[in-house]
Chains A and B, each alone.
Chain A
Amino acid sequence: MTVEEVMREEEAAVAGPIETTDRYKVVIKEINAWFGRKQALKNINLNIKDKSVTAFIGPSGCGKTTLIRCLNRMHEMTPNARVDGQVLVDGADIYDKSIDPVVVKRRVGMVFQKPNPFPTMSISDNVAAGLKLNGIKDKNLIAEVVEESLKGAALWEEVRTELEKPGMSLSGGQQQRLCIARALAMQPEVLLMDEPTSALDPLASSKIEELVRSLKEHVTIVIVTHNMQQAARVSDFTAFMYLGEMIEYGATSQIFKNPEKELTERYISGKFG
Chain B
Amino acid sequence: MSSKERKNYRMILHEEMKKRYRTRIITDNLVTVFALVCVVAAIIPLGSILLEVIKNGASALSFEFLTAPQGSIGSGKGGIGPAIQGTIIVVGLASLIATPVGVLAGIYLSEFAGNGIFPTVVRFLNNILTGLPSIVIGIVGYVTIVLFLGSFSVWAGALSLSIIMMPIVVIVTEETLRIVPHSLREAGYALGISKAKITMNIVLTTAKSGVLTGIGLGIARIAGETAPLIMTILGTSLFFSGLEGPVDALPLRIWRLASQPYESAHAFGWGAALILILMVLGMNVGLRLLARKKGFTVRAEA
Q: Tell whether, in the assembled complex, residue B191 and residue A119 are in contact, meaning their CB atoms are under 8 Å apart.
A: no
Q: Tell whether, in the assembled complex, residue A118 and residue B186 are in contact, meaning their CB atoms are under 8 Å apart.
A: no
Q: Tell whether, in the assembled complex, residue B296 and residue A166 are in contact, meaning their CB atoms are under 8 Å apart.
A: yes
Residues of B within 8 Å of A179, CB to CB, are 187
Residues of A within 8 Å of B190, CB to CB, are 72, 74, 105, 109-110, 112, 183
Bitwise, A136-169 to B at CB < 8 A (1) or not (0) is: 0000000000000000000000000000001010
- Which residue of chain A is the closest to B201 with respect to CB atoms? A133
- Which residue of chain B is the closest to A130 with respect to CB atoms? B191
Residues of A within 8 Å of B202, CB to CB, are 118, 120, 129, 133
Q: Tell whether, in the assembled complex, residue B296 and residue A102 are in contact, meaning their CB atoms are under 8 Å apart.
A: no
Please count how many residues in chain A sit with their CB below 8 Å of the partner chain's CB atoms. Answer: 29
Residues of B within 8 Å of A106, CB to CB, are 191-192
Q: Tell whether, in the assembled complex, residue B191 and residue A182 are in contact, meaning their CB atoms are under 8 Å apart.
A: yes
Interface size class of B (residues with CB under 8 A): 20 to 34
Residues of B within 8 Å of A103, CB to CB, are 192
Output the least CB separation between B153 and chain A (Å). 41
Q: Does B71 contact A (CB under 8 A)?
A: no
Q: Tell whether, in the assembled complex, residue B192 and residue A134 are in contact, meaning their CB atoms are under 8 Å apart.
A: yes
Q: Does A198 contact B (CB under 8 A)?
A: no
Q: Does B56 contact A (CB under 8 A)?
A: no
Q: Tell whether, in the assembled complex, residue B302 and residue A116 are in contact, meaning their CB atoms are under 8 Å apart.
A: yes
Q: Tell whether, in the assembled complex, residue A116 and residue B205 are in contact, meaning their CB atoms are under 8 Å apart.
A: no
Say which residue of A77, A130, A168 sits within 8 Å of B192 (CB atoms): A130
Bitwise, B206-245 to A at CB < 8 A (1) or not (0) is: 1010000000000000000000000000000000000000
Q: Tell whether, in the assembled complex, residue B193 and residue A116 are in contact, meaning their CB atoms are under 8 Å apart.
A: no
Q: How far is the CA of A130 from the CA of B187 in the complex (A)?
A: 10
Output the least CB separation between A168 and chain B (Å). 6
Of the listed residues B189, B198, B295, B297, the one surrounded by the most CB atoms of chain A closer than 10 A to its CB is: B189
Q: Does B299 contact A (CB under 8 A)?
A: yes
Output the least CB separation between B186 and chain A (Å). 7
Q: Does A234 contact B (CB under 8 A)?
A: no
Residues of B within 8 Å of A107, CB to CB, are 192
Say which residue of B181, B192, B295, B302 sits within 8 Å of A102 (CB atoms): B192
Q: How far is the CA of A107 from the CA of B190 in the complex (A)?
A: 10
Q: A133-B197, A166-B296, A168-B296 are in contact. Are A116 and B181 (CB under 8 A)?
A: yes
Output the least CB separation between B109 and chain A (Å). 16
Q: Does B13 contact A (CB under 8 A)?
A: no
Of the listed residues B181, B191, B193, B295, the one surrounded by the most CB atoms of chain A closer than 10 A to its CB is: B191
Q: Tell whether, in the assembled complex, residue A120 and residue B205 are in contact, meaning their CB atoms are under 8 Å apart.
A: yes
Q: Does A82 contact B (CB under 8 A)?
A: no
A80-114 interface with B by 8 A CB criterion: 102-107, 109-110, 112, 114
Output the least CB separation between A169 and chain B (Å). 8
Of the listed residues B181, B192, B193, B295, the one surrounded by the most CB atoms of chain A closer than 10 A to its CB is: B192
Q: Does A53 contact B (CB under 8 A)?
A: no
Q: Does B183 contact A (CB under 8 A)?
A: yes
Q: A112-B183, A133-B201 are in contact. Are A120 and B296 (CB under 8 A)?
A: yes
Q: Does A186 contact B (CB under 8 A)?
A: yes
Bitwise, B65-77 to A at CB < 8 A (1) or not (0) is: 0000000000000
Say which residue of B114, B192, B206, B208 sits within 8 Å of A186 (CB atoms): B192
Q: Tell whether, in the assembled complex, residue B186 and residue A102 are in contact, meaning their CB atoms are under 8 Å apart.
A: no
Q: How far is the CA of A120 from the CA of B208 in the complex (A)?
A: 9
Q: How far is the CA of A119 from the CA of B296 in the complex (A)?
A: 7
B interface, CB within 8 angstroms of A: 114, 181, 183-184, 186-194, 197-198, 201-202, 205-206, 208, 295-299, 302
A–B pairs, 8, beta carbons within 8 Å: A72-B190, A107-B192, A109-B191, A116-B184, A118-B202, A134-B191, A166-B296, A168-B296
